[in-house]
């Protein structure tokens, strides 16, 4: 049932930790918004110093972001097993709300914030009133 899946997805989203021990990576905070023409994704990437440390993979309905931290992070007083983990990157996969034109996507990285602008695949057509 779709609604059950939706509830489970929402629960997972709310309680999923923002890190993965197996991949030594952190999940960044992000925001996805839509305008008439574009899907705009912003991703908070602290401790990433250069755009060259970020790799982006985009399909018509998803965006994957990977970024290398300028130095590994470890919190030796945090939790139980967590204190042994050394994080070296950010990683996230974003499902886009509408299909996008991948060829015209563009990205910029300013003050630790990545902004990816992806034009909608389906353009609006003007409708004449009779």
| Residues with Cβ within 8 Å of residue 21, at least 6 apart in sequence | 81, 82, 85
Nearer to another protein, 32 or 56 (CB): 32
Residues that bind another protein (CB under 8 A): 14, 17-18, 26, 28-29, 31, 42, 44, 46-47, 73, 75, 110-113, 115
Task: Report the C-alpha gap between 123 and 14 in whole angstroms.
Answer: 33
Q: Which is nearer to another protein, 32 or 121 (CB)?
A: 32
Least Cβ distance, residue 44 to another protein (angstroms): 4
Neighbouring C-beta atoms of residue 68, cutoff 10 Å: 19
- Quick one: 17 or 126, whose CB is closer to another protein? 17
CA quadruple 53, 16, 42, 100: dihedral sign: positive
In sequence order, what are the beta bridge partners of 40?
A: 33, 117
Determine the 3-state secondary structure of 14 from DSSP: helix
| Least distance CB 129 / another protein (angstroms) | 30
- In whole angstroms, the minimum distance from the beta carbon of 4 to another protein comes to 21
Residue among 16 and 104 whose Cβ is closer to another protein: 16
């Amino acid at each position: 049932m779709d609604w059950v899946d939706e509830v489970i997805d929402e629960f997972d989203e709310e309680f999923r930790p923002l890190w993965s021990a197996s991949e030594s990576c952190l999940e960044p905070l992000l925001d996805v918004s839509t305008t008439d023409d574009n899907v705009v994704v912003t991703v908070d990437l602290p401790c990433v110093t250069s755009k060259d440390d970020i790799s982006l993979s985009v399909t018509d309905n998803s965006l994957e972001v990977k970024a290398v931290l300028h130095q590994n992070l470890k919190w030796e007083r945090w939790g139980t097993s967590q204190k042994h983990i050394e994080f070296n990157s950010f990683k996230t996969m974003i499902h886009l709300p509408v299909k996008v034109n991948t060829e015209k996507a563009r990205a910029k990285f300013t003050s630790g914030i990545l902004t990816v602008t992806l034009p909608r695949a389906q353009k609006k057509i003007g409708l004449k009133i009779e």
